[in-house]
Amino acid sequence: MIINGKEENIATPITVAELIESKGLRADRVAVELNGEIVPRTQRAQTQLKGTDTLEIVTFVQGG
């Protein structure tokens, strides 16, 4: 699986929500693109990932 441009070995099956949690990210502070399409927050727990998927996970950082 490619995550943010880097190949990673992730045990599947896993959902987008589980992957976000396993990486220690806050679900309310990230946007996820799966194979070129945005995954809505409401669909993350139901969206299964495969080893051939490409993900971009963008973390929102609050600045000042």
Q: How confident is the model at residue 63 (pLDDT cuts 50, 70, 90)?
A: confident
Average confidence (pLDDT) over 8-18: 95
What is the pLDDT confidence band of residue 62, given thresholds at 50, 70 and 90? confident
> Contact, 34 vs 4, CB < 8 A?
no
pLDDT of residue 41: 97
Report percent pLDDT > 90 for the chain.
91
Question: Per DSSP, what are the bridge partners of residue 59?
Answer: 30
Domains and CATH numbers, the chain: 1-57 (3.10.20.30)
Report the mean per-residue pLDDT for the chain: 95
Mean pLDDT, range 13-36, rounded to an integer: 97
CB of 56 closer than 8 Å to CB of 20: no
Structure tokens, 15: 């959902």
Write phi, then psi, for 18 (nearest 5 degrees).
Answer: -65, -40
